[in-house]
Structure 1
């Protein structure tokens, strides 16, 4: 494929020919063939499980293909590992965490390259920190320094470290896999600016995202995968949201899949926080959640909303004040929360909501001991098997079997498992922190329907989200947080709009 960019006729930098990847009986890529020109931002889009991350991981040397070829700069491309790919100009920001916690930012940036700073038998940490700091300064990353221990950083900070690490290699191809979902507005603007700068200097950016509006704004071309097969590529002048949706899912999808009705909620309070204070973020904070309510919580990334979700579930220590249910039960630990039919879906899905090295079944039944008990402490394996199969069927979880390892599943199917854990035990209150992060529009639509169905059945949802359309579309009431306090509280009946919410955030 050739396109005109900056007045030049750009030839393919990457050529993919009949590329396939099998994970056991699961076919992730099926004889995919397409091309990516030099010096463009190429969006790569498709539903969860379409093969986007699989292709990117093969190209970056993380996994091997089953068959087929990739040509890079007209040469057969088959890196033996990530380091070889990086040395030859291919860098990738992975979808989940790609840093090591117990070392510094500088040590993460130069992981595997420490000998660059050797001084005889020793490594000069001073030189390493100086080199890393220079990269951070060039990227205008000022929220932490090169000698900062990585475990002190939030998810956004760690992604910025990964970006800095990628830039050290001066990549010819820079792949960004579902990174913007954990970045604040400032972080996103930094990444967008970097991508434009790179392409202006001849680097190709492969940009994987489920946000179609973001893709249309940032990309020069968009290539679509569906069920492991290549569907087609659109040039900028051909971009159309409805057309992209149809290409992704193979059918027309209704544009409005949010909760559009103002049905209200009960006056009954099911969860209350009274003057709670945490070590960080929250100071004398008060909030109430009602029966049958979807309460949206929004704000900038450091406003305290993620800490609030953990504190309400007993996963964050409350130094003062208390969290209690409508019947007066005090929630000060997660065991009490789960016993009283509360659920919590973490923003950091892979680390805090799932056991990646366990099976689909083991994850789904992990909190369902009471449901699957035979007598006394004895668990019925037969009940567990039926229970897991029901959740897999009801939520359309794509897996080879209940014994499929969760680590091999797409982001959307992982999130369905998290939903299944809490829905299976009939949780009455569920705290959802960015529940649709990293999932495609089809899975989003299914999750929004689940949330709406739960609301209609009298369940209560605390929806923490960084996506304004999601908050506006799904919430009965929205609370905007700023600096650990409530900046605004708006009812659906008063009318939601993005500008009003943004003004409250900043």
Structure 2
């Protein structure tokens, strides 16, 4: 008989009139990886945010090893033996790596009111070495590191003090395969010590491979708890959405010719340390994929095209000869871009859904006197939020109140509303549930058929294979090969060019 580590009892949480978690109860055992799954807005992150002190509890309790706990904040949760690696960026800019690792626990390095910074850096470097993250230096500013390395710092921060429970909330979607493997090693060590992991992911195969037990939530309500070995992906889909999920995810067409018309030419584009002499063309009605390892430079491609790489050299040119060198020019000439780093680069968290969706379309929505009508803005935002099935109270709700997947829907709603001709999507399905993934793929296919051109940057090889007319593989900041759409194409064809 497994020993219970955490009891979740009658838990409730509301945001205004939205009931995010409704009277949820279940148990989590010691020494297990316990997965939480459900569609976007099902209550997974809300529940774990209450456990880790990020949100207050409306009603209900958590019982940890027989003791009722009420975490007031993340530091208080840490003191109870509970930590979290959040979905988005969880490190603070302007601090060193060491200061981020020991954030909230600096008192251990303070004596007579003086902080021993040298000792803090020494201990942080020893920790980084013990995790195998030697390339990350504790004394350097966290801003010197990319998104993935900052997630690795978060892993150290959340686990170095041997917590009883570690919540891993959609972390793997932010990591390359190499980064995921590092996280899996840490997960194995946590379990070997008899501690517990609460694992949230939309990758159902990953859930089945990595978890012992799975609890399913739907619309804030507890549905069931099952053993991973006893269920299939199809079983989980049915439990998540309450019905069979049917229909193909990906495109089913092969052999159709892409237009010869070139809509975007990229010539000799370089970004110091990231891209080196990039050359390619994008055709009308084409979905062009970019794949590679996390450090390959592929995530910089979208920024370079959108004019967001300030030290870029080379030429990004439209078919009419317009040079794209900055973001306003890109938007003015019907180019859209969604970043992998959603919270920092794709949405304005402390603004409403309406403000976020309308932002790039303000010139289009203004009248002849350059005046904006609140009614028109609201109608515009409401239409595209509903087209993307954003779970919200209304368009006045702040984006910061939404789940990760619903934030991503707002990002996509913004650019669908803008009706851009060239759409650059970096990791568009990151943190998105299975049903919305399917909706996004179908949306991309409709856009392609309507003559829109799409660049899709992704570390998910199957979605590149399933959706793209052509895939460019990046390595060390350069194009290492490209491959055309084919029924016989598989992941191995791409991996051989990536490594």
TM-score bracket for this pair, using the shorter chain length: over 0.9
Residue 442 to residue 402, structure 1, CA distance change in 2 (3 Å): same
- Whole-angstrom CA distance in 1 between matches of 2:114 and 2:3: 46
Paired position in structure 2 for 1:330 = 323
Paired position in structure 2 for 1:61 = 53
The 3-state SS of whatever aligns with 2:62 is: strand
Superposition deviation, residue 200 in structure 1: 1.3
Superposition deviation, residue 192 in structure 1: 0.6
- Whole-angstrom CA distance in 1 between matches of 2:129 and 2:231: 35
- The Cα RMSD (Å) is 1.2
- TM-score, normalised to structure 2's length? 0.98
Paired position in structure 2 for 1:45 = 37
The 3-state SS of whatever aligns with 2:359 is: coil
The aligned runs of 1:33-182 (5 Å cut-off) are 33-182=25-174
The aligned runs of 1:259-274 (5 Å cut-off) are 259-262=251-254, 263-274=256-267
The 3-state SS of whatever aligns with 1:34 is: strand
The 3-state SS of whatever aligns with 1:224 is: strand
- Whole-angstrom CA distance in 2 between matches of 1:179 and 1:319: 30
- Whole-angstrom CA distance in 2 between matches of 1:55 and 1:120: 40
Per-residue Cα deviation, 1:32-72 (whole angstroms, up to 9, x for no partner)? 11111110001111100000001101111111121112211
- Whole-angstrom CA distance in 2 between matches of 1:495 and 1:488: 17
Paired position in structure 1 for 2:272 = 279
- Deviating more after overlay: 473-482 vs 129-138: 129-138
- Whole-angstrom CA distance in 2 between matches of 1:205 and 1:88: 15
Paired position in structure 1 for 2:377 = 384
The 3-state SS of whatever aligns with 1:283 is: strand
Paired position in structure 2 for 1:393 = 386
Superposition deviation, residue 318 in structure 1: 5.2
The 3-state SS of whatever aligns with 1:416 is: helix
- Whole-angstrom CA distance in 2 between matches of 1:436 and 1:323: 26
- Whole-angstrom CA distance in 2 between matches of 1:477 and 1:63: 44
Paired position in structure 2 for 1:293 = 286
Paired position in structure 2 for 1:481 = 474
Maintained 8 Å contact 2:304/2:312? no
Paired position in structure 2 for 1:437 = 430
Per-residue Cα deviation, 1:190-210 (whole angstroms, up to 9, x for no partner)? 111111111111100001000
Superposition deviation, residue 476 in structure 1: 0.7
The 3-state SS of whatever aligns with 1:302 is: helix
- Gapped runs of 5+ residues in structure 2? none
Matched pairs, number: 498
- Whole-angstrom CA distance in 2 between matches of 1:58 and 1:264: 52
Superposition deviation, residue 494 in structure 1: 7.5
Maintained 8 Å contact 2:208/2:229? no
Q: Does 1:472 align with 2:465?
A: yes
